[in-house]
Amino acid sequence: MSDTDATDADAGGPYARRIAAVRDRLGDGTTDGPDDADGGGDADALVLFPSTNLRYLTGYTEAPSERHLLLFLAADAGPVFLVPELSGEQVRAESAVDDVRTWGDDEDPLAAVEAVADDLGLRGGTEGVDDGVGTRVLVDDTMHARFTQDLREALPGASFGLASEVLADLRVIKDDAEVAAMRRAGEAADAVIRELRADGDDVVGMTEAELADHIEERLDAHGGTGVSFETIVGSGPNGAMPHHTHGDRVVGAGDPVVLDFGTRVDGYPSDQTRTLVFGDESPPEGFRQVHRLVREAQEAAVEAVEPGATAGEVDAAARDVIEEAGYGDEFVHRTGHGVGLDVHEEPYIVEGSDRELEPGMVFSVEPGVYLSGEFGVRVEDLVVVTEGGCVRLNRTDRGWKTE
């Protein structure tokens, strides 16, 4: 059975259920947005463009372009896709939306936007004037300004907010098919880590870039599609820069190497980190203790994950361990981030956050210690919050030794 079958198994498919949930939230004033004069925080419609929000609600994915490809979802009507004529057939075939309208290259896309807004009653607004006075529209958080400007022109009287006001709380709780996809992506990454351990000596002498290429080939071989972010191979002192990706440095025997990479399955990413040492020379002084410390911190944070705990408490569980050992200043980032269609999304596992964890949330737990000019250590797994605590989506050995 393919994953698509599994996804379609729930009533109406995930897209119908998600669209219904958005329409509920639009209609009943439960949006998180600021109160405005008319709507009390309520919103009348959501307008998306090519984005992970669009994929989440319709199954359709493509890169943003200069042409208007917009999904309109009003509280009291079915979703309407407005797409370039050349994309019409594809959107009908690949999206869960029935009402797909097209505009041609010889037409004015703004007029097409206005026509859809008219049909959905958005330009009439609550006061019945055709510039949308009293209407509140939530636009995709990442929408390009050229399209938000057109929406402003089509609805000069409307007020605007962000789609995340209704979508963030839906997307943060993953359904079984989403978790299954991330589990498979995690298994592919785990398999590559196991192979790298077995490669051992063979890795010595490769450049970081060559090793990154090798990792990406193996991710594909294990069923992943592409990478979920630029592969990080931080060898020796490069590992002390958390944002270093990969370069020309040659991996030496005994160098600690921070390996942080992921792939996608059905659009859902994996994200894990292991810090390994290749070759038969000893790692630098202090490395063993720091590696042990980071693993302890990671373990403590994973143990702190349960429904009702806050994101800040999980961060503190890791941070306390590292601070007590005197390395607090070398742990220079938050403990983790949510993962879904976006590899960085809610919930953020950050110091002081009082966001409560709920079953179905998926996020990384990735403390690190970075010693400038020497080496870095990070250990990262994704976890899914369950009723009783959490389950890791990465299971491969967290130690630093290779064969």
Give 44 or 260: the residue with its C-beta nearer to Zn ion: 260
Using alpha carbons only, what angle is made at residue 136 by residues 132 and 141, rounded to the nearest 5 degrees? 125
Site for Zn ion (CB under 5 A): which residue of 165, 208, 260, 313? 260
- Give the helix/strand (H/E) hosting 218: helix 208-221
Residue 49 near residue 143, CB atoms below 8 Å: yes
Inter-CA distances, 316 with 330, 332, 377, Å: 15, 13, 18
Shortest distance, CB of residue 380 to Zn ion, whole angstroms?
5
Q: How many helices (H) and strands (E) does the chain have?
A: 11, 18
* Total residues in contact with Zn ion, by rule CB under 5 A: 5
Q: Counting contacts by CB under 5 A, is residue 271 touching Zn ion? A: yes
DSSP 236-278: GGGGGSTT----SPBPPTT-EEEEEE--EETTEE--EEEEEE-
Closest to 84 measured CA to CA, from 97, 100, 61: 100
Shortest distance, CB of residue 378 to Zn ion, whole angstroms?
8
Give 116 or 215: the residue with its C-beta nearer to Zn ion: 215
Give 271 or 315: the residue with its C-beta nearer to Zn ion: 271
Site string for Zn ion, 41-60 (x = CB under 5 A): --------------------
Shortest distance, CB of residue 273 to Zn ion, whole angstroms?
5
Shortest distance, CB of residue 344 to Zn ion, whole angstroms?
7
Residue 211 near residue 251, CB atoms below 8 Å: yes
Closest to 33 measured CA to CA, from 138, 148, 183: 138
Counting Cβ atoms within 10 Å, is residue 352 exposed (0-12), middle (13-18) or buried (19+)?
Answer: exposed
Q: Counting contacts by CB under 5 A, is residue 315 touching Zn ion? A: no
Distance CA 390, CA 272 (A): 16
Of 36-44, 134-142, 349-357, 362-370, the segment contacting Zn ion by CB under 5 A is 362-370
For 157-202, strand residue ranges (E) read 159-162
Distance CA 200, CA 177 (A): 35
Q: Counting contacts by CB under 5 A, is residue 394 touching Zn ion? A: no
Give 114 or 271: the residue with its C-beta nearer to Zn ion: 271
Shortest distance, CB of residue 224 to Zn ion, whole angstroms?
15
Of 96-104, 121-129, 266-274, 321-329, the segment contacting Zn ion by CB under 5 A is 266-274
Shortest distance, CB of residue 228 to Zn ion, whole angstroms?
9
Shortest distance, CB of residue 22 to Zn ion, whole angstroms?
28
Site string for Zn ion, 272-301 (x = CB under 5 A): -x----------------------------
Q: Counting contacts by CB under 5 A, is residue 364 touching Zn ion? A: yes
Give 243 or 248: the residue with its C-beta nearer to Zn ion: 243
Of 297-305, 325-333, 364-372, 394-402, the segment contacting Zn ion by CB under 5 A is 364-372
Shortest distance, CB of residue 336 to Zn ion, whole angstroms?
7
DSSP 58-114: HS------SS--EEEEETTS--EEEEEGGGHHHHHHHSS-SEEEEE-TTS-HHHHHH
Binding site for Zn ion (CB under 5 A): 260, 271, 273, 364, 380
